[in-house]
């Protein structure tokens, strides 16, 4: 797929990683629709950018947002589902007096942010593509944590769900000319990563990575562009982790 002139929806496009992805695709000639719960200075400005404040786990809000996008830019050719939250919390912590187990409220929030949001938006964009005979692509964001990262029960479960869901979509939607794949970054040097993990933990992860550093956001963005452009990639997860094995 030639990115030039295509309408690409970037969920989480105002975040530290999402904004770099949006800017990269914009530079390649795409029209970008950013959906995010917050809109700030990180969102790239311009006539080919539509930024909407949307909770993409809310189906009614998603339906309204997609109507606005199609009315502004026309048919949607690609979706980048990179909305979500990184969270670390042990399953049990016997040193705590009041809350010794992983909070259910946190579990619900992380699953909703990372998995439910991708399901809701992906389903609606897929329906749009199928109804309009668009040969498009759905790109979901997984993580190196999908294989199970100690201290990240909810986050790891959500990302494992992303990979399973992506495989299902590729099989269901492939005959319609719609591709589905996932991108699983390792640890990326972004403010959200620094917030979720201690400096000591990140330093140790960099030391254990064969390339001895975290990923740059631009390296993840280039993989997104590749996934859009290569029409024979579907049903798989592209790992971008610098060789790190958890």
Distance CA 32, CA 168 (A): 26
CA gyration radius, the chain? 18
167-186 as b/e: b if 16+ CB within 10 A: bebbeebeeeebbbbbbbbb
Choosing from 73, 141, 155, 169, which is the catalytic residue? 155
Active site residue 155: yes
CA 245 to chain centroid, in Å, comes to 21
Report residue 84: phi and psi, to 5°: 155, 175
Residues 130 and 178 sit within 8 Å (Cβ to Cβ)? yes
Active site residues: 155
């Amino acid at each position: 797929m030639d990115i030039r002139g295509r309408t690409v929806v970037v969920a989480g496009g105002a975040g530290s990683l999402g904004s770099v992805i949006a800017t990269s695709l914009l530079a390649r000639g795409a029209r970008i629709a950013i959906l995010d719960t917050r809109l700030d200075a990180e969102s790239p400005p311009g006539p080919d950018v539509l930024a909407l404040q949307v909770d993409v786990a809310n189906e009614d809000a998603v339906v309204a947002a997609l109507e606005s996008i199609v009315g502004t830019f026309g048919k949607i050719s690609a979706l980048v589902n990179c909305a979500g939250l990184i969270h670390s919390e042990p399953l049990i912590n016997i040193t705590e007096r009041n809350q010794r187990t992983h909070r259910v409220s946190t579990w619900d929030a992380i699953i909703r942010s990372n998995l439910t949001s991708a399901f809701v938006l992906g389903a609606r964009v897929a329906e749009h593509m199928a109804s309009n005979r668009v040969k498009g692509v759905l790109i979901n964001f997984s993580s190196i944590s999908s294989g199970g990262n100690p201290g990240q029960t909810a986050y790891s479960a959500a990302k494992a769900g992303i990979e399973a869901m992506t495989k299902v979509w590729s099989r269901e939607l492939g005959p319609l000319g719609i591709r589905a794949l996932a991108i699983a970054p390792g640890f990326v040097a972004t403010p959200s990563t620094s917030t979720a993990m201690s400096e000591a933990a990140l330093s140790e992860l960099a030391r254990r990575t064969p390339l001895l550093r975290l990923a740059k956001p631009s390296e993840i963005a280039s993989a997104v562009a590749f996934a859009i452009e290569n029409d024979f990639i579907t049903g798989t997860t592209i790992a971008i982790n610098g060789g790190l094995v958890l």
